[in-house]
């Protein structure tokens, strides 16, 4: 199964793609809906010569609105005073224009101008097409790279490269965070090959051996096709995690502001509110203009519904996890698992992973992400950490970090 690498660049590409779909669909659907309504209206409408009686302005600045009053005579000679549904800067009082009116309701009129739906089509359609182009292009590159990574890892041919540099990309900021990068090289047959991975979500440092080397999977026919192994963690000596200095005192982490408390809860709450706003806008539009607007607003329904129910699921899952943790601590059954991973993410939060072998040889792996504080103080000198478990099922667990 193809699995995309989780990094800020992939997240930004997905965001651009989704917003491009929304803008493009709205930019095409709403003008077409307006044109269809216009065509339906024109089938029975009657043409008349009208005069602009006045242009009335209300509000100020960006909130300024204009109401255009017009007067004409219907086919029965009745004088009709009503307003246009649009305004143009070249309009003035006394200007003659052509209008079409509904013979059953003469106050319902349309002018011959198509400027408003054309403007909508040009603005939203163009923005949507540009965002779609960049979103699809960037994601296609990500998918291609993921497919290459899967192929090279399955073939299993790799070289051990020397790490030249690794750390934070200070000149790049994606979604408010600085991603990580790593660069290494390998020499063979008198030729040196350089390998680089950028826009990494997690710090690659834990994957580098003590002598500054890292595994790189390559295509033995062409070393230009490669992927740096950021999954395999070298064996650590006892105390390697517990005795090191905290990340906050080392470069390149000194410029990081610590992640906010309950970052995930705050982000999910924001998604919940934003999704509710999207769905509320759809409901309000349906109430105001009828169910015919639901089709062009389908991207808003999908996007808003996904954000809303996804956030609800995560908030509920986090609450259940907290409840499970309290239960396991109260029961008091715990194991001492071997720490196999500690790293920092681009947003400044920490990740810790550990592994436990039971008496029957079964391996249990536990991982905790989005930690506000460095977990090193909770690791024993022999690289172990306490994990509370359910006596009947070790998969149900709570890692002790307090």
Whether 112 and 43 share a structural domain: yes
Question: How far apart, in Å, are the Cα atoms of 287 and each of 61, 195, 282, 306?
Answer: 29, 57, 9, 22
Please give the full DSSP string across 315-366, using - where no structure is assigned: HHHHHHHHHHHHHHHHHT-EEEEEEEEEEEBTTS-EEEEEEEE-TT--EEEE
394 and 336 co-located in one domain: yes
Q: How far apart are CA 52 and CA 58, in angstroms?
A: 18
Which tokens go with 93?
A: 């009082």
Q: Residue 276: inside a domain, yes or no?
A: yes
Q: Are residues 179 and 273 in the same domain?
A: no
Same domain, 273 and 372: yes
Q: How many helices (H) and strands (E) does the chain have?
A: 4, 15
Residue 131, in any domain of the structure? no
Of the candidates 234, 253, 273, which is a domain's last residue? 234
Total domains, the chain: 3
- In a domain? residue 133: no
Phi and psi, residue 315, nearest 5°: -65, -40
Give the domain-ending residue among 67, 101, 118: 118
- In this structure, the answer to whether residues 107 and 186 fall within a common structural domain is no
Residues 160 and 83 reside in one and the same domain: no
Coil, helix or strand for 114? coil
pTM greater than 0.75:
no
**Terminal CA-CA length for the chain:** 37
Q: Residue 387: enclosing H or E segment and its boundaries?
A: strand 384-390
Residue 223 lies in a domain: yes
My answer on whether 378 and 281 are in the same domain is yes
HSE-up of 140 (CA within 13 Å, CB side)? 6
pLDDT of 196: 92
Domain residue limits at 52:
13-118
Residues 371 and 322 in one domain: yes
Query: Taking the alpha carbons of 312, 317, 323, 326 in that order, is the dihedral positive or negative?
Result: negative
- What residues of the chain score a pLDDT lower than 70? 1-12, 112-116, 174-176, 235-264, 288-290, 292-293, 296, 346-347, 402
Is residue 358 assigned to a domain?
A: yes
C-beta separation of 259 from 248 below 8 A: no
Residues 92 and 107: beta-carbon distance below 8 Å: no
Domain shared by 80 and 172, yes or no: no
Last residue of a domain, one of 118, 136, 169: 118
Point out which residues pair with 228 in neighbouring strands. 216
CA 182 vs CA 188, 219, 388: distances in Å: 20, 19, 36
Angstrom distance (rounded) from CA 211 to CA 363: 29
Residue 165 and residue 267 in one domain:
no
pLDDT digits (tens, 9 = 90+) for 192-246: 999 998 888 788 888 888 888 999 999 988 898 999 998 877 765 555 554 444 4
Distance CA 214, CA 230 (A): 9
Residue 206 lies in a domain: yes
Clarify whether residues 230 and 289 are in a common domain: no
| Residue pLDDT, tens place only, 47-64 | 888 898 988 888 777 778
Q: Is residue 58 part of a domain?
A: yes
Helices 8-42, 115-155: axis angle to 10 degrees equals 150
pLDDT at 250: 35
């Amino acid at each position: 199964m193809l699995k995309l690498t989780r990094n800020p660049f992939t997240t930004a590409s997905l965001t651009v793609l989704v917003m491009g779909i929304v803008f493009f669909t709205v930019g095409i659907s709403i003008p077409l809906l307006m044109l269809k309504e216009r065509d339906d209206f024109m089938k029975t409408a009657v043409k008349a010569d009208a005069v602009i009686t006045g242009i009335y302005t209300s509000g100020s600045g960006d909130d300024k609105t204009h109401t255009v009053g017009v007067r004409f005579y219907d086919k029965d000679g009745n004088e009709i005073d009503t307003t246009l549904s649009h305004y143009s800067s070249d309009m003035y009082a006394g200007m003659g224009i052509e209008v079409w009116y509904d013979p059953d309701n003469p106050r319902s009129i349309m002018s011959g101008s198509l400027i408003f739906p054309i403007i909508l089509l040009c603005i939203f359609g163009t923005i949507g097409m540009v965002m779609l182009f960049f979103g699809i292009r960037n994601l296609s590159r990500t998918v291609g790279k993921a497919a290459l990574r899967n192929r090279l890892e399955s073939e299993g041919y790799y070289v051990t490269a020397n790490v030249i540099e690794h750390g934070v990309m200070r000149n790049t900021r994606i979604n408010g965070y600085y991603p990580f990068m790593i660069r290494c090289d390998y020499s063979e047959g008198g030729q040196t090959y350089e390998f680089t991975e950028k826009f990494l979500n997690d710090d690659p440092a834990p994957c580098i051996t003590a002598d500054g080397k890292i595994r790189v999977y390559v295509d033995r026919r062409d070393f230009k096709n490669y992927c740096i192994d950021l999954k395999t963690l070298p064996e650590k000596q006892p105390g390697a995690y517990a005795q090191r200095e905290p990340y906050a005192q080392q470069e390149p982490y000194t410029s990081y502001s610590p992640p906010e408390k309950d970052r995930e809860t705050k982000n999910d709450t924001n998604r919940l509110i934003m999704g509710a706003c999207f769905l509320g806008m759809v409901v309000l539009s349906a109430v105001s203009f009828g169910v015919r607007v639901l089709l062009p607003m389908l991207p808003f329904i999908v996007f808003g519904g996904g954000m809303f129910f996804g956030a609800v699921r995560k908030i509920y899952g986090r609450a259940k996890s907290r409840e499970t943790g309290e239960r396991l601590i109260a029961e008091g059954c715990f194991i001492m698992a071997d720490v196999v991973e500690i790293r920092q993410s681009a947003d400044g939060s920490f990740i810790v992973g550990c592994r436990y072998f039971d008496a029957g040889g079964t391996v249990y792996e536990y991982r905790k992400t989005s930690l506000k504080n460095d977990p090193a103080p909770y690791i024993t000198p022999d690289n172990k950490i306490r994990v509370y478990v359910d006596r009947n099922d070790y998969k149900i667990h709570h890692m002790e970090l307090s």
